[in-house]
Amino acid sequence: MARKCALCEKQSKRVWRRVRLRADKYNPTIKRKQKANLQKVTLPSGKRVLACAKCIKSLSKTKKK
């Protein structure tokens, strides 16, 4: 199973961080993987899925009505 949000399809991405050496010189060598904030949640239909925190917040707003 891929580490992906079941609702919005958000997944991990590669990010680069530029290290500043001097006044206007950078060393863009630090690369890392930034992962989505995925958590297990039960949908109103009863199905358990992995969803990102943003989707969980929006689900809780729609339930209150």
Distances 48 to 16, 40, 44, 51 between C-alpha atoms, Å: 33, 7, 9, 9
pLDDT digits 0-9 by tens, 16-60 = 877 778 777 777 777 889 999 999 999 888 999 999 999 999 988
> How many structural domains does the chain have?
1
Domain of 37 in residue numbering reads as 13-63
Q: Structure pTM? A: 0.67
In a domain, 43, yes or no: yes
In a domain, 5, yes or no: no
Residues in Cβ contact with 21 at an 8 Å cutoff, skipping those fewer than 6 apart: 27
Q: 54 φ, ψ to 5°? A: -65, -40
In a domain, 18, yes or no: yes
Half-sphere exposure of 5 (CA within 13 A, CB side): 16
In a domain, 53, yes or no: yes
In a domain, 50, yes or no: yes
| Helices and strands, number each (H, E), in the chain | 1, 4
In a domain, 8, yes or no: no
